[in-house]
Structure 1
């Protein structure tokens, strides 16, 4: 069954609130979390909405906000890598990979630098039933 607009807005607000608390409202991390949540909620369709996964993610973020344990370190590391990736994608070095003066292998490596990171996130989401 497709979720209502109210359920989607509620999920977005809860994820955003607990994400901000998990990163302790730190300046680069809060903007990184905001931009990532906006992009995900705008791009995904209603069929991929899973309330159970969102509840598990909120519980994980609550643990990260509650104490500086493993959850907090994971969230901190994720936001740092996402921030660095956004800076990387705006840099001249990444934008120059579209020019033909680089070797094919070097271009492939530069474009796929974050693939192992995203594979690990997919595996974490799959095992814990989350949607980070």
Structure 2
């Protein structure tokens, strides 16, 4: 990174942060997510600083702050998805434990149902214990959509 880019980084960071905070109207859950996202974007090792993309993103965030139009809804949804992702990672172990308990409870209920249905062979249990093929791919389409929006409009939203 050249020295001119390093000199431009701090003002760009501050402009993005201010515009983003205005866009979310300084609301508590959204402002913390926004700060984390902006910091992560500027700390990324492989990131390339593009002043034009930062300028367009700042315009977009200022437009989101001025009216509750499509820009505001896009920012709101981006932060909501970021919150859901963060929440999922934070509570992953709890969710694994709850899922294991549900599977165990379901297996016990199935065994009880099999015992009751032993004299009714024409009624069969549904086999719904298949592995989840969606797990791990939930956000692929969302990420591709955000990437295409960034490429089309020349912005750097995440």
Q: TM-score range by the shorter chain?
A: 0.7 to 0.9
Question: Are 1:19 and 1:61, in contact at CA under 8 Å, matched by a contact in 2?
Answer: yes
Which residue matches 1:33?
A: 34
Query: How far 1:95 sits from its partner (Å)?
Result: 7.8
TM-score, reference length from structure 2: 0.70
Q: Distance in 2 between matches of 1:111 and 1:64?
A: 31
Moved over 6 A (4+): none
TM-score, reference length from structure 1: 0.83
1:62-91 deviation digits (Å, cap 9, x = unpaired): 100111111111111111111111101112
Which residue matches 1:113?
A: 138
Structure 1 pair 8–45 and aligned structure 2 pair: CA distance change class (3 A): farther
Question: Are 2:16 and 2:58, in contact at CA under 8 Å, matched by a contact in 1?
Answer: yes
Which residue matches 1:71?
A: 71
Query: How far 1:109 sits from its partner (Å)?
Result: 2.5
What is the Cα-based RMSD across aligned positions, in Å?
A: 2.2
Q: Distance in 1 between matches of 2:94 and 2:65?
A: 34
Structure 1 pair 109–21 and aligned structure 2 pair: CA distance change class (3 A): same
Q: How does 1:71-90 map to 2 (within 5 A)?
A: 71-90=71-90
More helix per residue? 1
Question: Are 2:5 and 2:49, in contact at CA under 8 Å, matched by a contact in 1?
Answer: no
Which residue matches 2:150?
A: 125
Question: Are 2:53 and 2:154, in contact at CA under 8 Å, matched by a contact in 1?
Answer: yes
Q: Distance in 2 between matches of 1:123 and 1:105?
A: 31
Question: Are 1:64 and 1:72, in contact at CA under 8 Å, matched by a contact in 2?
Answer: yes
Which residue matches 1:7?
A: 8
Larger radius of gyration: 2
Please list every run of 5 or more consecutive structure 2 residues that lacks an aligned counterpart in the other structure.
97-128
